[in-house]
Chain A
């Protein structure tokens, strides 16, 4: 039951995952023979530590697949991935993951949901509880710590999911379309909140989204992926100062970047949902 026995891979057993993420000609094909689906073709990339990267691309282009592979949750069929000086061969412990569905456990209170990673890793529970409450405070749901997930709204639930991902203070946070199920106003709030918390926690962030606005607003760098098989079409640096306010989205500089990304999809005939 010690942490090391579960997934005896170099990346998994490391306590901290400092350093850049390096993808070297990464490819992924699901199945084989007739029914094989090539999801991703030869992607090479480097994410600097502390960077906030967003990935946009048409549905089914392999964004989730790419994220799962970097997190060590899915095997590669070509190339390799390194985080710092460690090869990724199994689940990487130092990542907090947030999915489109919040995946809160119905039978646990909000606080106990946030504490789940602490229980699994055998962390000091008193310290973990303190940190959980601080995170819930930061995410503005501390008043609901004793409530159950079904008593919360969709936006609140997703904030709890983010708190859970951040509890062990990971160096990396991966978010796969975390706000897709939320209404436009809540989503705007969450965007502001996300870049606040990202700055506060100094966490390298990988955000997958269908919203170009969201990508440009939250990230330092936006990667544009092509339709299947997924490859990188464009790699755009976004260097608006932080903290960013929603008004930023009305500025010409912002609109120009959004326009540039949209053009990529028009060119290739892919529409972003």
Chain B
């Protein structure tokens, strides 16, 4: 880690010295290949669709997706906001419940033996398949959608919390026991901080699953949100609108992932994955 960081930072300063031009050239070298690839890909798509004279409801050209996105921008954004709201509420509940359940299971043998079989069985049920049941149980509306997000986001956090809490260094536990720490102190001062990296990786996974859960929830139980918009657009054979919704959704997913990584870096400045040049170079 250290060995890798020194040459990297030296070469960075070494090359910056000749001037800004060199740095700009390097940025360009990084950004150019993906940009070129995007232009070629979209160009081919546009060209093939026009050349074959494909009907727009089968495969719209990228240009009309862009036009639709501009035309319906306000509507699209309001539907995205709905989905994001439902996903956020659901994921917050899912994460909280996940951490509480995970902590209970990791800390108590009785809770472990009582709760784990249930979790294993419920987790094994394909949630997408039972989504329509949520409609029966919770009715048509946002509550069904949120509940669906909760079931999606709960499990990664439970698993990560259990793993994290059980992986604390046994010698450290012996040490704090010799200092006279009680169970609560061990939990707060040792177990949770050392479990943080693992819990956060579970949280990251949950956060990336939450919008997917929300959209599936909207497919069956909502008249709002991107999922509902998608169903309607497909029903109207307005494929360009569907593409616009999907594009917006993907961009949001990428931003969400970036945000999660940023928060992780803020919370774990001490962790090997967050410190040192090697790690930041890799991003």
When the two chains form their complex, are residues A150 and B270 in contact, meaning their CB atoms are under 8 A apart? Answer: yes
Q: Is B182 an interface residue (CB 8 A)?
A: yes
Which parts of A139-189 form the interface with B (CB within 8 Å)?
148, 150
Whole-angstrom CA separation of A153 from B71 in the bound complex: 61
CB distance from A6 to the nearest CB of B (A): 4
When the two chains form their complex, are residues B190 and A105 in contact, meaning their CB atoms are under 8 A apart? Answer: yes
Q: Which of A116-124, A203-211, A248-256 contacts B (4 or more CB under 8 A)?
A: A116-124
When the two chains form their complex, are residues A7 and B180 in contact, meaning their CB atoms are under 8 A apart? Answer: yes
Q: Is A236 an interface residue (CB 8 A)?
A: no
When the two chains form their complex, are residues A107 and B171 in contact, meaning their CB atoms are under 8 A apart? Answer: no
Whole-angstrom CA separation of A71 from B180 in the bound complex: 11
- Given A5-B182, A106-B270, A107-B196, the answer on whether A73 and B172 have CB atoms closer than 8 Å is no
Whole-angstrom CA separation of A91 from B181 in the bound complex: 10
Q: Is A234 an interface residue (CB 8 A)?
A: no
Q: Is B18 an interface residue (CB 8 A)?
A: no
CB distance from B196 to the nearest CB of A (A): 7
For A97, give its contact among B175, B181, B183, B272 (CB under 8 Å): B175
Q: Is A103 an interface residue (CB 8 A)?
A: yes
When the two chains form their complex, are residues A97 and B178 in contact, meaning their CB atoms are under 8 A apart? Answer: yes
When the two chains form their complex, are residues A103 and B175 in contact, meaning their CB atoms are under 8 A apart? Answer: yes
Whole-angstrom CA separation of A106 from B190 in the bound complex: 10
Q: Name the interface size band of chain B.
A: 20 to 34
Whole-angstrom CA separation of A91 from B180 in the bound complex: 7
Q: Is B15 an interface residue (CB 8 A)?
A: no
Whole-angstrom CA separation of A265 from B143 in the bound complex: 75
Q: Is A137 an interface residue (CB 8 A)?
A: no
Which residues of A are found within 8 Å of B175, using beta-carbon distances? Answer: 97, 99, 103
Q: Is A3 an interface residue (CB 8 A)?
A: yes
When the two chains form their complex, are residues B176 and A116 in contact, meaning their CB atoms are under 8 A apart? Answer: yes
Which residues of B are found within 8 Å of A101, using beta-carbon distances? Answer: 171
CB distance from A105 to the nearest CB of B (A): 7
Q: Is A12 an interface residue (CB 8 A)?
A: yes
Which residues of B are found within 8 Å of A12, using beta-carbon distances? Answer: 180
- Given A103-B169, A103-B171, the answer on whether A120 and B176 have CB atoms closer than 8 Å is yes
When the two chains form their complex, are residues A91 and B177 in contact, meaning their CB atoms are under 8 A apart? Answer: yes
When the two chains form their complex, are residues A71 and B270 in contact, meaning their CB atoms are under 8 A apart? Answer: no
Q: Is B174 an interface residue (CB 8 A)?
A: yes
Q: Is B275 an interface residue (CB 8 A)?
A: yes
Which residues of B are found within 8 Å of A6, using beta-carbon distances? Answer: 180-183
Which parts of B247-275 form the interface with A (CB within 8 Å)?
268, 270-272, 275
Contact with B along A1-25 (1 / 0, CB 8 A): 1010111000010000000000000
For A120, give its contact among B171, B185, B272 (CB under 8 Å): B185
Q: Is B179 an interface residue (CB 8 A)?
A: yes
Whole-angstrom CA separation of A106 from B145 in the bound complex: 40
Measured CB to CB, the nearest residue on chain A to B196 is A107
Whole-angstrom CA separation of A132 from B208 in the bound complex: 44
Which residues of A are found within 8 Å of B268, using beta-carbon distances? Answer: 107
Measured CB to CB, the nearest residue on chain B to A6 is B182
Whole-angstrom CA separation of A12 from B181 in the bound complex: 11
When the two chains form their complex, are residues A117 and B193 in contact, meaning their CB atoms are under 8 A apart? Answer: no
Which residues of B are found within 8 Å of A7, using beta-carbon distances? Answer: 180
- Given A107-B196, A107-B270, the answer on whether A119 and B189 have CB atoms closer than 8 Å is yes
Q: Is B74 an interface residue (CB 8 A)?
A: no
Q: Is A93 an interface residue (CB 8 A)?
A: yes
CB distance from A65 to the nearest CB of B (A): 13
Q: Is B126 an interface residue (CB 8 A)?
A: no
- Given A1-B185, A150-B270, the answer on whether A120 and B193 have CB atoms closer than 8 Å is no
CB distance from B93 to the nearest CB of A (A): 27
Q: What are the 4 tightest A-B residue pairs by CB atom distance, in nearest-first order?
A: A6-B182, A117-B179, A93-B180, A107-B270
Given A93-B180, A117-B179, A121-B179, 9 extra CB contacts under 8 A: A1-B185, A6-B182, A71-B178, A73-B174, A91-B178, A106-B270, A116-B176, A120-B189, A121-B180
- A interface residues with partner B (beta carbon < 8 Å): 1, 3, 5-7, 12, 68, 71, 73, 91-93, 95, 97, 99, 101, 103, 105-107, 116-117, 119-121, 148, 150
